[in-house]
């Protein structure tokens, strides 16, 4: 990057020259039109066409120069905040030293240091190992490969409402059909069971009764859908992310752990969205007191840089034979340096504690809103991963998906980015950076409240 007539500019070689100040000045409309001309529609867009030029903490500046409160955090990636100072420093410093060599070619310290840190924070039994890759989907792919090699079995059990990424195995494990229309055939030997959603599927049952029933169904599935001796792994999100911020009940998690151990099935927790402080812990599974055999990580691990990991019991991880896992860019030095700085910031600023605080504020505000609006069907979540489900007359069978779209549009008008979620798109989820200032969180939540209170069913008719 070099200075150009007092402004900021980037030289990309003799033919290309991008003037950042000029690109800042172009309107969002112009940028979005340019996007439409060259980016295919398959790369979808949330929140009615937001643009971004710069961001800091929980605030983002769009192409029109408008400041927006970011309650989406790049889909749960920015737990330490946008352009966190220490992360930026670490990126620059590492980029000056070593940008790439490939871990299969030469061993470099940041890769090893990050694995050491992951193993320290996330012990999986007596001895733990970690593998670095580039994205959440890639972490999931690799966890499945490792589980198959470790058990010599091929089948995988996953759940309804799940999201595990957009690669072939990721899509095969993902539930919502909208994400996979026309993309099949999908990977074989994948079996899907209902995710334990007490609010939706446990009417009339206490939480314990509901968990007992769901665990009995799972046990039954191991004799009438796929034999336990064929199942390599069960993969689940401890809190559904794309599925709408729904935590699996803790007694269910403990029963699942016990069932997996009993049948020699490996338990994989997909912590891509839940990990690194989002729920007030490094891992959401910690809330239930269980330890999985393997876990997958991405998003907020890298402070905005693309990096992901599979962490697991050492003997399970070592079952994967040389050359069956890895890749050219996995654990890139610059991304590793960013991740190490990100974790250091999380520790120093106690972002786990901050997530608990944010979660308590958001939950209390949403619960108060539920008392005032019969559009609010359910408020749930863990730590700072809270979902607000909109249903007509609070009936889970009558999802108010169109209302979620209207709320998101209203919030954007007010300068607040908020994401939809849920299979039927009728959930609003808050995934703000955990460094968000109290006043910005308050403004964001007020926009959501105003939007919902201003909508009522008569307006819809």
Residues 163-182: x where in contact with ligand PLP by CB under 6 A, - otherwise, as a string: xxx-----------------
- Toward ligand PLP, which CB reaches closer, 237 or 389? 237
Helices 333-348 and 109-121, axial angle in degrees (round to 10): 40
State the Cα–Cα distance between residues 157 and 176, nearest whole angstrom.
16
Residue 73 as a binder of ligand PLP (CB under 6 A): the answer is no
Residue 295 as a binder of ligand PLP (CB under 6 A): the answer is no
- Toward ligand PLP, which CB reaches closer, 137 or 146? 137
Centroid of chain to Cα 254? 23
Nearest distance from C-beta of residue 52 to ligand PLP, angstroms: 18
Given 57, 73, 110, 136, the residue binding ligand PLP (CB under 6 A) = 136
Tell me phi and psi for residue 315, to 5 degrees. -70, -30
State the Cα–Cα distance between residues 400 and 63, nearest whole angstrom.
32
Q: Are strands 7-11 and 231-236 parallel, antiparallel or unpaired?
A: unpaired
Nearest distance from C-beta of residue 285 to ligand PLP, angstroms: 13
Nearest distance from C-beta of residue 133 to ligand PLP, angstroms: 10
C-beta nearest to ligand PLP: residue: 136
Are the C-beta atoms of 430 and 354 separated by less than 8 Å?
A: no
Stretch that binds ligand PLP, among 46-54, 159-167, 246-254, 441-449 (CB under 6 A): 159-167
Are the C-beta atoms of 53 and 23 separated by less than 8 Å?
A: yes
Nearest distance from C-beta of residue 15 to ligand PLP, angstroms: 32
- Toward ligand PLP, which CB reaches closer, 155 or 273? 273
Binding residues for ligand PLP restricted to 331-390, rule: CB under 6 A: none
Give buried/exposed letters for 363-380 (b at 16+ CB in 10 A, else e): bebbeebbeebebbbbbb
Given 137, 215, 290, 362, the residue binding ligand PLP (CB under 6 A) = 137
- Toward ligand PLP, which CB reaches closer, 63 or 295? 295
> Helix, strand or coil for residue 335?
helix
Three-state SS string over 41-71 comes to CCCCCCCCCCCCCEEEECEEECCCCCEEEEC
Count CB atoms within 10 A of the CB of residue 2.
7
Residue 140 as a binder of ligand PLP (CB under 6 A): the answer is yes
How many helices (H) and strands (E) would you count in the chain? 16, 20
Give buried/exposed letters for 322-343 (b at 16+ CB in 10 A, else e): eeebbeebbbbbbbbbbbbbbb
The residues near 340 (Cβ < 8 Å, ≥ 6 apart) are: 90, 110, 113, 114, 117
Residue 63 as a binder of ligand PLP (CB under 6 A): the answer is no
- Toward ligand PLP, which CB reaches closer, 304 or 391? 304
Number of residues binding to ligand PLP, judged by CB under 6 A? 15
Binding residues for ligand PLP restricted to 297-326, rule: CB under 6 A: 298
Residue 420 as a binder of ligand PLP (CB under 6 A): the answer is no
Residue 419 as a binder of ligand PLP (CB under 6 A): the answer is no
Stretch that binds ligand PLP, among 132-140, 346-354, 372-380, 421-429 (CB under 6 A): 132-140
Binding residues for ligand PLP restricted to 243-272, rule: CB under 6 A: 270, 272
Are the C-beta atoms of 310 and 131 separated by less than 8 Å?
A: yes
State the Cα–Cα distance between residues 244 and 13, nearest whole angstrom.
45
Give buried/exposed letters for 416-454 (b at 16+ CB in 10 A, else e): bbbbbbbbbbbbbbbbbbbbbeeebbeebbebbbebbee
Nearest distance from C-beta of residue 236 to ligand PLP, angstroms: 9
Dump the DSSP string for 283-317: SGGGGGT---SEEEE-GGGGTTS--EEEEEEHHHH
- Toward ligand PLP, which CB reaches closer, 63 or 142? 142
- Toward ligand PLP, which CB reaches closer, 268 or 317? 268
Stretch that binds ligand PLP, among 62-70, 131-139, 148-156, 370-378 (CB under 6 A): 131-139
Given 70, 242, 356, 389, the residue binding ligand PLP (CB under 6 A) = 242
Residue 444 as a binder of ligand PLP (CB under 6 A): the answer is no
- Toward ligand PLP, which CB reaches closer, 140 or 403? 140
- Toward ligand PLP, which CB reaches closer, 240 or 455? 240
**Which chain residues interact with ligand PLP by CB under 6 A?**
75, 135-137, 140, 163-165, 237, 241-242, 270, 272-273, 298
């Amino acid at each position: 990057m070099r200075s150009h007539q007092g402004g900021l500019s980037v030289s990309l070689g003799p033919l290309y020259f991008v003037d950042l100040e000029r690109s800042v000045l172009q309107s969002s409309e112009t940028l979005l039109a340019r996007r439409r001309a060259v980016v295919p529609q398959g790369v979808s867009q949330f929140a009615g066409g937001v643009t971004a030029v710069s961001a800091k903490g929980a605030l983002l500046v769009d192409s029109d120069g408008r400041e927006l409160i970011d309650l989406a955090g790049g889909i749960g990636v920015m737990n330490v905040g946008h352009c966190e100072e220490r992360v930026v420093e670490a990126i620059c410093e590492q980029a000056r030293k070593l940008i790439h060599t490939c871990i299969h070619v030469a061993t470099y310290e940041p890769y090893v240091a990050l694995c050491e840190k992951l193993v320290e924070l996330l012990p999986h039994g007596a001895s733990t190992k970690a593998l670095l890759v580039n994205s959440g989907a890639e972490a999931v792919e690799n966890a499945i490969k490792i589980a198959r090699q470790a058990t010599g079995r091929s089948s995988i059990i996953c759940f309804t409402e799940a999201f595990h990424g957009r690669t072939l195995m990721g899509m095969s494990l993902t539930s919502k059909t909208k994400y996979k229309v026309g993309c099949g055939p999908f990977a074989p030997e994948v079996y899907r069971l209902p995710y334990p959603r007490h609010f939706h599927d446990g009417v009339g049952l206490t939480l314990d009764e509901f968990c007992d029933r769901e665990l009995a169904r799972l046990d039954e599935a191991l004799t009438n859908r796929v034999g336990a001796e064929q199942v390599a792994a069960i993969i689940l999100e401890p809190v559904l992310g794309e599925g709408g911020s729904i935590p699996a009940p803790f007694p269910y998690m403990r029963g699942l752990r016990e069932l997996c151990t009993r049948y020699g099935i490996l338990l994989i927790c997909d912590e891509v969205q839940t990990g690194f402080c989002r729920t007030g812990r490094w891992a959401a599974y910690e809330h239930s007191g269980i330890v999985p055999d393997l876990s997958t990580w991405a998003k907020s691990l890298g402070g905005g840089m693309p990096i992901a990991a599979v962490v697991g019991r050492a003997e399970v991880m070592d079952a994967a034979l040389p050359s069956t896992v890895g890749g050219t860019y996995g654990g890139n030095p610059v991304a590793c340096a960013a991740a190490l700085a990100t974790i250091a910031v999380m520790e120093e600023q106690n972002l786990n504690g901050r997530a608990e605080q944010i979660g308590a504020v958001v939950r209390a505000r949403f619960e108060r809103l539920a008392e005032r609006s019969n559009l609010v069907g359910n408020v749930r979540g863990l730590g700072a991963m809270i979902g607000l489900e909109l249903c007509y007359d609070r009936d889970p069978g009558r999802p108010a998906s169109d209302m979620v779209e209207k709320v998101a549009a209203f919030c954007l008008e007010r300068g607040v980015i908020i994401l939809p979620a849920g299979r039927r798109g009728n959930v609003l989820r808050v995934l703000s950076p955990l460094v968000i200032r109290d006043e910005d969180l308050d403004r964001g939540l007020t926009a959501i409240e105003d939007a919902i209170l201003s909508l009522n069913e008569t307006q819809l008719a």
